[in-house]
Amino acid sequence: MPIHRRVTRFVSYSLVTSLIVGGSLVASGCSKSAPTLSSDADGRIARVIDGDTVDVEFVVDGRSVTDRVRLIGIDTPETKKPNTPVECFGPEASARIEQLVPEGTEVRVVLDREERDDYGRVLAYVYRSADGLFVNRQLLIEGMARVLSIRPNVSLATELQAAEADARRALRGLWGACPLG
């Protein structure tokens, strides 16, 4: 068999194998379980990762499943991003979300248009079940976060922008503590 046919066959087999293996990795999910959620779901905080990311334990088909949830509409200063220094007010934002929704807190997770980001995290608005506190908004009100609107998940963008504007005017949180830049 001529060399170009062997190379072509090898490349074809390699491509198919890569797609199968890659597809299996994607199918297994970047998240721990990759369940499909309805527009909202009840869960319990399993762990706070940082100021805008938490692990939530859900009950799916009668079994406990923990999934990573990224609070949409907000962005807190980095504390754990690889190769990135801890940003101004990052530790305070992480500490505050731990106070608002400590481990074991029951929450309602509400989706917008897209269920997951490119990292497999659930994209959601998070509400504390006991009193309905809108956690994403509360972090903005206190100046622990900035608005981060990424289409198509912008159904509450106006409400979140108003909360940030109020914190900026009052120089709350990062708005009074961190250099603008």
The set of catalytic residues is 70, 78, 121
Task: Please give the Cα distance from 135 to 117 (Å, whole number).
Answer: 19
Strand locations in 51-171, DSSP E? 53-60, 63-71, 73-75, 106-110, 122-128, 146-148
Q: Shortest CA distance to 37 belongs to which of 125, 100, 154?
A: 125
Q: Shortest CA distance to 98 belongs to which of 58, 142, 135, 59?
A: 135
Strand-pair category, 106-110 with 73-75: unpaired
